[in-house]
Structure 1
């Protein structure tokens, strides 16, 4: 399962070896904090998928890993079953949105808000 690490200037999404193979991607995903527009949590990630898979792996309602292209850009997904999932909207960058299943969704959003407040106060 992908692990998410929040730093003061960026969010890193570290993919497992299997996720890298399934998504045909060599590198982890790094999103600058300034590019994050919004973050939301959902219990039904399947309604958030848009576009077509290119490249990646998809098993309906079970697994979605890889890039999904749509008319306005592309999204990156690491979605497994109906687990709690984080939807991260990105202003600029390689992806328009990153959707990741993670058991630490609430903690992730909390740490993003705390760090934003700390940076603004400095």
Structure 2
């Protein structure tokens, strides 16, 4: 899963090694805060995907990573399965018109973008938690399975 770092001037999408390989990208995606026009939460990022991967990886319904070219411009996507996502529309960004990311921290990102943050980059979840703008869910208990019952003796 991508890590989102936010400071007073930029949002940085930190990619893991596997994400970089699948997206055919050498570095992270850096977005100046002044170029962010709109941020939307969505349950299905696949509906926002437009164009063809160039370069990128696409397995329909499973994964879409990389740059997507269309008549509307270039988008950057990191989409996994049908999970909650965030769509960031950009205005004046030198590389992309839209960034689509599968992340469970979309609400934290939206709320962190509304808050003035320090000059030092921090994870969006930490920023939102510090300001008290999102509830932090308690840790889930691990599920335990019952042992299968022994077969009756015949």
Q: Which residue of 2 aligns with 1:97?
A: 98
* Structure 1 outlier segments of 4+, above 2 Å: none
Per-residue deviation, 1:72: 2.5
Whether 2:41 is the aligned partner of 1:62: answer: no
Kindly tell me the number of residue pairs found equivalent between the two proteins: 116
Structure 1: distance between partners of 2:63 and 2:52:
14
**Quick check: which one's helix share is greater?**
1
For residues 28-86 of structure 1, what are the alpha-carbon distances to aligned partners after superposition, in whole Å with 9 as ceiling and x for unaligned? Answer: 00000000000000001110000111011111111000000011310000000111101
Structure 1: distance between partners of 2:52 and 2:98:
14
Q: Which residue of 2 aligns with 1:52?
A: 52
Question: Higher Cα Rg: structure 1 or 2?
Answer: 2
Per-residue deviation, 1:115: 2.6
**Gaps spanning 5+ residues in structure 2: where?**
118-154
Q: Which residue of 1 aligns with 2:21?
A: 21
Structure 2: distance between partners of 1:114 and 1:19:
29
Q: Which residue of 2 aligns with 1:33?
A: 33
**TM-score, normalization by structure 1:** 0.92
Structure 2: distance between partners of 1:17 and 1:40:
27
Structure 2: distance between partners of 1:100 and 1:72:
18
**Gaps spanning 5+ residues in structure 1: where?**
117-122
Structure 2: distance between partners of 1:111 and 1:87:
15
